[in-house]
Structure 1
Amino acid sequence: MNELTLLLTLATIHTIGLISPGPDFALVVQNVARYGRATGVYIACGLALGIGLHTIFSLTGVSFVIQQHETLFMLVQLAGGSYLLYLGLSALRSTYLSWHQPAAAPTQASTEQITSPHMALVKGLVTNLLNPKALVFFVSLVSTLVPASVSWWFKGTAALMLFALSLAWFSLLACWLSSSSMQQRLQRASRYIDAVCGTVFSVLGGSIVLSRVLG
């Protein structure tokens, strides 16, 4: 398989992975519902940066070394699982306040708001970068498809390509969700979105932490 064909194969598999619902998808939906298009796009930039870094780490062997080092990989899993669990519990707490303490909800929410583009970008970056399942996905993808003999041109192009695809997908998702008709629906359903996203993050993060503690 030549390098051009290999790039197309990587792009196809990565695109399928992107459009499959997961923590990154949930993060965009949740934050567009809360804060609108601009925040969603900055979240998308952060997610794309995280994916670009995962690609670079996998192609250069860094992620493989982390995965093979049991203690280091356990720490990465615990950190990532704990962060996802934190996101989930925060969303569930917000849902609880909106249902049971409507008068106190705005005050509480103000302490958790994304107040700048920088905060949104960092939240997207950290969420993707600390997701242990993303690390395993990229290590598996690279080890299965990419031979060790590929050129540095290929590695750089692959990283830029997967970054660009991720940025395009999540930005388009944020823009679509923030259209006037969709935004009204999302705002009406915001507490339900928080509940669903909070459950997804909590179950995923909790299962990762629990598996490491019990394992």
Structure 2
Amino acid sequence: MTASELNLLMTLATIHAIALASPGPDVALVVQSASRYGRRTGLLIALGLSVGILLHSILSLTGVSLLIRQHPLWFVIIKLAGGSYLLWLGVGALGYVLRHQGEGRSLARVEVEAGLEGPLNAFVRGLMTNLLNPKALVFFVSLFSTLVPADLSAQGKMGALVLLWALSLTWFSLLAQLLTSRTLQARLQRAALTLDGICGAVFVLVGGGILWSTLSGL
């Protein structure tokens, strides 16, 4: 791998790291799931999110995402599906809060110990939250079309894919680990329903905003 390709990978990694740390649906999902269901679910969510980012990277690197972005009907379908999914997650979280008001810490402790969300369901929820987010599609199309040259070597492309995936998995896994440390978990259990409400509001605002902007532009 050449020095210019290494510099390119460092630039991609820096931009992606900043994007990962920015608040959004991915971070909200890890916070909500880890605080409600515990470490294992948080790590599976992290894996699903990172695989979604890997798929976005592959589609952008191969030009598929750019074709979707440039085809109005396809992009509208993606935005409607993604906005609807995020809105569904938000409504579900807010409904959960309304159903369980007053149960708070005891409810959270029971759910963490029981691990009520299955491994496959947790992984798929993380995967779909990232994969169906049209803002993620636009971000990766912009990232790759702006920074990655068409003649980048196969080794450079593979390095970019592995790097972005590894950064994503590491960041979301560390977040899940931190949120489920013994000291912090006890505090999160006391605020479980509040966190659900905040995360649900994030999903509703982002998903509803995507749907509103898409439908109003038709």
Q: Pick the TM interval, shorter chain.
A: over 0.9
Displaced runs of 4 or more, over 4 A: none
Q: 1:47/1:213 Cα in 2 relative to 1: closer, same or farther (>3 Å)? A: same
Q: 1:77 touches 1:208 (CA, 8 Å); kept in 2?
A: yes
1:69 CA displacement: 0.3
Unaligned runs of 5+ in 1: none
**Aligned with 1:2: secondary structure?**
helix
1:114–1:120: 8 Å Cα contact kept in structure 2? no
Residue type matched to 2:34 in 1?
Answer: V
Structure-2 separation of matches of 1:178 and 1:99: 22
Counterpart of 1:73 in 2: which secondary structure?
helix
Separation in 1, partners of 2:23, 2:84 = 20
After superposition, the C-alpha distances for 1:83-113 in whole angstroms (9 at most, x for unaligned) are 00000000110111122799xx99xx9xxx8
Aligned partner of residue 99 in structure 1, secondary structure? coil
**Whole-Å Cα distance in 1 between the matches of residues 46 and 95 of structure 2?**
24
Partner amino acid, structure 2, of 1:183: Q
CA drift of 1:51 comes to: 0.4
Q: Structure 1 counterpart of 2:56, which letter?
A: H
8 Å contact 1:29–1:174 — kept in the other structure? yes
Whether the aligned pair in 2 keeps the contact of 1:58 and 1:139 (CA below 8 Å) is yes
Contact 1:91 1:198 in 2 (8 A): yes
Return the TM-score normalized by structure 2.
0.91
* Pairwise CA RMSD: 1.8
CA distance in 1, matches of 2:172, 2:121: 17
Gaps in structure 2 of 5+ consecutive residues:
none
For residues 13 and 101 of structure 2, what CA distance do their matches in structure 1 show? 43
1:9 and 2:11 aligned: yes
Assess if the C-alpha contact under 8 Å between 1:88 and 1:197 holds in 2.
yes
Aligned partner of 1:24 among 19, 23, 26: 26
**TM-score (norm: length of structure 1):** 0.92
Confirm or deny: 8 A CA contact 1:88 1:202 kept in the other structure. Answer: yes
- Percent identity of the aligned residues? 56
> Is this contact kept in 2: 1:28–1:44, CA < 8 A?
yes
Matched pairs, number: 208
